[in-house]
A and B are shown apart, each in its own frame.
Chain A
Amino acid sequence: MDAWIAFARGPLLKIALLTMLLGLIRQGLLQVWEISWAFHRAGDQVVPWKLAIRRNLEWLLPWRYLRRKERITYNFISFLFHVGIISVPVFLAGHVAIWRESFGIGWWTLPPALADWLTVMTVSAAAALLLMRLGHQASRRLSQPQDWLLPILCAFPCVTGFFVAHPFLNPINAQVMYLFHLLSAELLLMIVPFSKLVHIVLFWVSQPSTELGWRFPPGSGERVRATLGKGEEGV
């Protein structure tokens, strides 16, 4: 068991972080490239830069999101989920201790009791989000397989982490639970660049592209095709 944990803490963590880092760099470059090419081919080449940047910053804060009229509960629970899933891993005392021991840097930490309640809140919010997705016909139709899988994958490190922090409540061997915590967190890191989770870093690319996308005149693709005489081929 010690060897497995050493593997998960050493080489596997390195692989997970490398996968996330290099994968995100690749994804970012590809997205920027694609935006620039779509822009290059667009009919209307006036880019409202100021608006795009302002919207990007606005979406970073939850106010605009929470002010929406439709599906208020869903939006609010989603907000709670994001608060928990960001604050607990970053500000947990145990995680900051690892940073401090490995790199000598540290920061303010959450009180343990608050961290526990935030974890419980995050896991229940993930479950609620899944149930509400299941209950809403439109979003059920729009959902891809990863939409069902990602909340579960996000909640798994929270559940295992909770039991690692509270060995008294832990139903199985503490070290096995610790290994599960490591593995699930590493899996999450590894799938970041290859799933919708990419938004945790690359929102600044996908958000402006959405803003720019609104600006392209409708049906421009068909017009380009007709001009080139390409028929049904891709442009």
Chain B
Amino acid sequence: MTRRLGIFKGVLWFLFGMGAALIGVRLLRGLGVVTALSDVTPWGLWKGLNVFAGIAIGAGGFVLAAIAHVFHGEKYHPVARCAVLIALCAYSGAAISLFYEIGMPWKIWGPIVFWNPHSPLFEVAWCVMLYLNVLLIEFAPTVLELTHFHGLYRLALKLQLPAVILGIMISTLHQSTLGTLFLIMPERLNALWYTPSLPELFFVSAIACGLAAVIFVTLLVDWLYLRPHRIEMLAGLARYLVMVLSFYLIFRLGDMCRHGKLGLIGRGNLASWMFFGEILASCLIPILLFAASRWRRQPWVLWIGSSLCILGIVFNRLNASGIAMIWATDSHYFPAWTEFAVSFGLISAMVLAFLWMHEHEPVRSGLFSEVQNLRRLQIFQLPRPGQPWAGDLTFGPRRTYSLLFVLAAILGLALTPWHPLVRSTSVQRARGKNVLLLGYPTGTVHFPHADHIKRLGQKACATCHHLHRPGDTGTPCSSCHRDMYLPTKIFHHSHHIKVLGGNSSCEQCHPAGLPASARSVRPCSFCHRTDMMTSNTVVTKFDSIDAPGYRKAAHTLCIACHRKEAKNPKWKKPDLFRCATCHRTPVPHGIEVLRSRARPRTTPAPPM
């Protein structure tokens, strides 16, 4: 194992570990915990990067299969097998990604049984499913060669050529259908990306992206396994790439010209700059780099050109499937870090699967025979004989990778909020003379304080003010119920220790002989007899640690009383308990309202 391969795989295992842990969290706790998606923006980074871009990258499989086996490009046989392997990994990644990113993963089998032939997604689902099977058939001899099933192996060899042809057909269908998807929502797409020719554009750009991906992966694999670069073959592919990209560029600009959208490029806004960057990276620079036959035989030119082309087309898919939509719908979406971690984790897993299959594939198998003779790597490394090995902590590659995986998984699980993000909304103190305004400007609550005093009598303060700070007689609700929706801590442990005299004071609250816990502790009223109003009839339950959220506290307090009083014939107000009695949006005349300076913050819910 080379050093660079070890480091590369180590990084991949780390990313995979974090992604796997977060996918687990997503499956257990739902999309809301790990994504920033909403009903307005239901498609985010996962769809753009792992499905749309992943399938475009996997297009190399059918392109190279066509070049090598249909158009008899014999010298491309070695990369054709590599391309099928790339396609297999990319499509599997897209399928796995689809599984965890749809809202109800347990219904992913739906399109197989319930047919809706009018839906583009139906066609995509079926084509991707069929093509994945075709890829498996194309790749089956490679695996079956290792086994003892000789009959199956010969059958798979016979099926290989039909599978290649079927694969080209199905790929043509679904690569373009991914573009068709956006034709049904023109109002959601930015004008720079929307065109009736989207299916054709998607198909052509997928061919380019697939070719570039094959060049890039071949370079990467040769570099990782310390093999000489196969420049002649790659230069030939780069030549095809120039042709496809030129066609794509002319097609796209011509299409924009036809629809009179060329002027949009010069607008100078963010969209036009992104369009320009996309064209520059995906078409212009690779075309310029690969145009001269001497240039495209330089390894660094191949590296830069192919990676820029992939990035550009991936950017195109991201734009079309997400960023352009966000602008059109004017919603706010930026992927959460967990979304990035899951995306890169899945990509890492697929790259690892690719490398593993690359290391384990046999030398010859059917159509994809006479490939490079891979140096077999030593996979299972046992310690030297005589050395104790059970439970020892020597760091072989397997131990290192599994350690990195586990550490990343721990990090991912520890950093992910286990509960959906909750808005923490601090409570504003009630203001006004005889009408209290609460919660302005989201909605105002009318509370005629003076009127309540008049009706209930001066001695009835305790009906609402059930707990006071020492020395206080009318502590406002908001000093304990500090958050609108979340419970807030009201007990200050350190302060009590300090005031009561350090370590010797524990037994004043925690009875001796019992474990010191919140359940066994003496109630607050044990000491604060005078601060707690015992005559209160509404607040019967008192939790000495958490004060409930303001909304819950107020509703419990007010509605209970209003329900009772609504039945009282004395007031003749049967609707007293209805929402509109207190919740009135227009601010009454003559009442000064102070704007809240505190903005709603997004914080995770407090544990336990």
Contacts and interface: CB of A to CB of B under 8 A. Distances in A.
B413 A18 contact: yes
B582 interface: no
B486 to A, nearest CB: 15
B504 A202 contact: no
Contact of A94 (B399, B410, B414, B516): B516
B263 interface: no
A22 B384 CA distance: 28
A213 interface: yes
Interface stretch (A9-17, A59-67, A81-89): A9-17
Contacts of B206: none
Contacts of B492: 2
Nearest to B388: A213
Interface stretch (B213-221, B333-341, B389-397): B389-397
Contacts of B504: 167-168
Given A168-B503, A220-B385, A30 B402 contact: yes
Interface stretch (B300-308, B317-325, B517-525): B517-525
Interface string B479-512: 0000000000000111001000011101000000
Given A167-B504, A235-B382, A26 B516 contact: no
B518 to A, nearest CB: 7
Contact of A22 (B393, B410, B608): B410
Nearest to B405: A26
A206 B381 CA distance: 19
B513 interface: yes
Given A2-B493, A112-B513, A34 B390 contact: yes
A235 B391 contact: no
B522 to A, nearest CB: 15
A222 interface: yes
B409 interface: yes
Contacts of A225: 385
A234 B391 CA distance: 19
Given A37-B382, A221-B385, A23 B406 contact: yes
Contact of A234 (B382, B402, B409): B382
Given A10-B607, A97-B520, A174-B502, A213 B409 contact: no
Contacts of B517: 94, 97-98, 101
**Which interface residue of A34, A112, A198 has the most chain B CB atoms within 10 A?**
A34
A78 interface: no
A169 B492 CA distance: 24
A92 B410 CA distance: 29
B403 A202 contact: no
Given A97-B519, A101-B517, A235-B385, A1 B494 contact: yes
Interface residues of A, number: 54
Contact of A11 (B414, B514, B520): B414
Nearest to A41: B382
A137 interface: no
B398 interface: yes
A175 interface: yes
Given A15-B414, A97-B519, A173 B382 contact: no
B386 interface: yes
B380 interface: yes
Interface string B401-418: 011011001100110000
Given A18-B414, A26-B406, A202 B391 contact: yes
A34 B414 contact: no
B435 to A, nearest CB: 38
A20 B519 CA distance: 29
B515 interface: yes
Nearest to A11: B414
B384 A14 contact: no
Interface in A196-235: 198, 202, 205-206, 209-210, 213, 219-222, 224-225, 234-235
B389 A11 contact: no
A25 B17 CA distance: 14
A174 B505 CA distance: 10
A235 B413 CA distance: 38
B390 A213 contact: yes
Given A19-B410, A174-B502, A194 B382 contact: no
A93 interface: yes
A141 B409 CA distance: 38
A34 B390 CA distance: 7
16 contacts: A2-B493, A14-B414, A22-B406, A27-B391, A34-B389, A37-B382, A93-B514, A94-B515, A101-B517, A168-B503, A174-B506, A175-B497, A205-B391, A206-B390, A221-B384, A234-B381
Interface of A: 1-2, 10-11, 14-15, 18-19, 22-23, 25-27, 29-31, 34-35, 37-38, 41, 92-98, 100-102, 112, 167-168, 170, 173-175, 194, 198, 202, 205-206, 209-210, 213, 219-222, 224-225, 234-235
Given A35-B390, A210-B390, 11 more contacts: A10-B607, A15-B410, A26-B402, A93-B515, A167-B503, A173-B503, A174-B503, A202-B391, A209-B390, A219-B385, A234-B381
